[in-house]
Amino acid sequence: MRTSWADSVASESSFAANGDSRPARSSYVPPHLRNRPSNSQPLAPAPVEPARTAAGARWGGGAGRDAGRPGFDGGRGIGGGWNSRTGGWDRGREREANPFANDDDAAEVDFDGQENSGINFDAYEDIPVETSGDNVPAPVNTFAQIDLGEALNENIRRCKYVKPTPVQRHAIPISLAGRDLMACAQTGSGKTAAFCFPIISGIMRAQPAHRQRGIRTVYPLALILSPTRELSVQIHEEARKFSYQTGVRVVVAYGGAPINQQMRDLERGVDILVATPGRLVDLLERARVSLQMIRYLALDEADRMLDMGFEPQIRRIVEQMDMPPRGVRQTMLFSATFPREIQRMASDFLHNYIFLAVGRVGSSTDLIVQRVEFVLESDKRSHLMDLLHAQRANGVSGKQALTLVFVETKRGADTLEHWLCLNGFPAITIHGDRTQQEREHALRSFKSGATPILVATDVAARGLDIPHVAHVVNFDLPNDIDDYVHRIGRTGRAGKTGLATAFFNESNASLARPLVELMQEANQEVPAWLTRYAAARASYGGGGRNRRSGGRFGGRDFRKDKFCEWLGGGGEHHGGGGAYRGGGGAYRGASSGYDGGNPCFTSAWD
Ligand SMILES: Nc1ncnc2c1ncn2[C@@H]1O[C@H](COP(=O)(O)OP(=O)(O)OP(=O)(O)O)[C@@H](O)[C@H]1O
């Protein structure tokens, strides 16, 4: 049980905001069950009807993009007529809570004095985009150019999305054409919608599938996997907005929350299942979920999902259960980073896929001012204090801007939080030793501004879309440059600007070189002392662990490297002998061979 001052302040303010005098812990409701109408009945198990979501009237027949995939009923082709679908919610459409209901409340939170320049996707206009693969569908410029269906278009309007972001402009037509996709695009650039829109629209337009019947087993049509519970909750919330009143039902399942509740929710019908791998395996083993009907598989933060920690679970889910094989299902992998080794492994899951790279690695970093300061371990706390004081002094009415502080260990997070609170800075932590309730409470308290400093381990590094984060501090730098990219990407999202400060010392020497290169690519000012560190490292041949996932771009299709190897010219690309590849010149020089004369791949510049 948390007892810190910050917690009590945050909990009090959140109770007050809810007009609720009961303590949150005793009234805990999992996030996916919130926002239901207050008079909704307790969730009694609904009559089990596994085929229900497929049974309603769906789109009329016609040749669809899935037509070529065995096992799929035909859907309407793109541009076909749209009818009202009454599948997922046909027995209780009136009970579908409005997922936009809380948006106005959120807008009322007073973030005066914090950076909020509004959505400015023009900032991404001149971002280079590269695609490779066979017959790449052309990008679109507007949502109107894509026939997503009126209900989904209405939700796009409700989300206030005026035009698609670069990754959406390219990825949506690719996915709507039924192609497998590996997409690498900057943090905060709208990847969630890029995979959700085609899935929702595809389910809406397809003929009802003949689903299996099981006693209590459900048969989702789409599976979205993400590495953390909070990210799954966030994707679920987004997907519910996108699918509001479309008849497509989205359910979330993640660890740390009561499984019985999640099973009851699943029994009410599921078209799209958003899940963390561990909880999904549990549900599969209990035969509560079957993957037999999966048409769409999306892995968010795909490089993380396929790294050593998660790979066995993902292989089990995708290859060893009852999911249709690649080529039959459609598979979409998304991340801001895609190391080459992971791409190679990921290709096991894909069929004749298109690789899409939008911008540089972490290239939202043009919007994020990156600073690196040399700070000895023993000076870190006082240095942080200086930053926070300065920030408070600069904020309107002395308010603390939302600041996310990354540390390496869970223990480190707790001690830093305690110390900050003792020194008058309201802080709260999120890490793997906290209960799920504590984790969700911490996020809510931070998002609302009640506790403006969140001390986090890498559990909060990926995917979380927290508006108004003004400053990310890498109190402890990560060992891997890709982790740095994701961490700083918690600010400077959706076209806004942000600030990222890193405390660097001897113990981070292995990161010097990739950090310098990343900063140079993002037109950041690199301190001379850091360049010297990087040069010293290079002369030792160090930095092998931190192979960047691409040079100028968010990623580089590893198939092209393979092609160059075959031509006998691959050495340069790999920085031979395991040394960090890139260093600017060698890599960039090699990229001329990358674009030209490759008979296997088309390459489109945007
Ligand atoms: N077309 C759009 N117009 C306006 N806002 C958008 C658009 N698409 C997405 N957004 C908003 O941009 C923000 C970032 O989107 P999202 O979380 O999907 O980014 P991401 O690319 O998945 O980031 P990360 O790599 O950190 O996971 C969200 O608040 C989302 O609502």
For residue 117 the two structure tokens come to 């320049």
Q: Which residues contact 419 (CB under 8 A, 6 or more apart)?
A: 381
- Residue 481: is it exposed, middle or buried by C-beta count within 10 angstroms (0-12/13-18/19+)? buried
Q: Where are the alpha helices (DSSP H) in 137-176?
A: 150-158, 166-176
CB atoms within 10 A of CB 590: 19
Tell me the pLDDT tens digit for each residue of 453-462. 999 999 999 9
139's CB contacts (< 8 A; 6+ apart) are: 129, 169, 170, 173, 606
> Ligand 1 pocket, 436 CB below 6 A?
no
**In 556-597, where does DSSP find H-type helix?**
558-567, 571-574, 585-595
Please tell me the CATH superfamily of domain 120-206+214-358, with its number. P-loop containing nucleotide triphosphate hydrolases (3.40.50.300)
pTM of the model: 0.78
Residue by residue, DSSP assigns 197-220 as: HHHHHHHHHBPPP-----SS-B--
Handedness of CA 53, 56, 59, 63 (dihedral sign): positive
Q: Among 159, 184, 468, which is best to mutate for testing ligand 1, by the most ligand atoms less than 8 A from CB?
A: 159
Domain limits of the chain?
120-206+214-358, 368-539
Neighbouring residues of 303: CB distance < 8 A, sequence distance ≥ 6? 335, 337, 338, 339, 342, 346, 482, 549
SS3 428: strand
Contact 486, 464 (CB under 8 A): no
State residue 182's pLDDT score. Answer: 96
Quick check: CB of 508 below 6 Å from ligand 1?
A: no
> Does residue 448 line the site of ligand 1, with CB under 6 A?
no
The beta strands (E) that lie in 352-483 are given as 354-358, 368-374, 402-406, 427-430, 453-456, 469-474
Indicate whether residue 465 lines ligand 1 (CB < 6 A). Answer: yes
571: Cα separation from own chain's centroid: 33
190 Cα: distance to centroid of ligand 1 (angstroms): 3
Instruction: Report how far ligand 1's centroid is from the alpha carbon of 338 (Å).
Output: 19
- pLDDT on residue 558: 78
Shared fold status for 120-206+214-358 and 368-539: yes
ipTM over the 0.90 cut-off:
yes
**What pLDDT is stored for residue 213 in this prediction?**
60
Nearest protein CA to atom 2 of ligand 1, as residue:
161
Q: Which CATH architecture has domain 368-539?
A: 3-Layer(aba) Sandwich (3.40)
Q: Using one digit for the tens of pLDDT, what is the confidence trace for 387-441? A: 999 888 776 666 788 999 999 999 999 999 999 999 999 999 999 999 999 999 9
Distance (angstroms) between ligand 1 centre and the Cα of 119 equals: 10
Residues 6+ apart with CB under 8 A from 554: 184, 185, 186, 336, 337, 338, 357, 358, 359, 360, 361, 362, 363
Distance in Å, CA 161 to ligand 1 centroid: 10
**Sign of the CA dihedral running 148, 152, 154, 156:** negative
Rounded to whole angstroms, the Cα distance separating 100 from 244 reads 9
Query: From the CB of 119, is ligand 1 less than 6 Å away?
Result: yes
| Ligand 1 nearest atom to the CA of residue 189, by list position | 21
Taking 70 as the pLDDT cut, the residues of the chain under it are 1-94, 103-125, 207-214, 360-365, 395-398, 538-555, 561-606
Q: Give kind and range of the element (H or E) at residue 530.
A: helix 528-540
Q: Is the CB of 228 under 6 A from ligand 1?
A: no
CB 448 within 8 A of CB 13: yes
Ligand 1 atom nearest to CA at 489 = 26
* DSSP-derived pairing of the beta strands 129-133 and 602-605: antiparallel
Q: Can you tell me whether residue 305 is helix, strand or coil?
A: helix
Q: Closest residue (by CA) to atom 13 of ligand 1?
A: 494
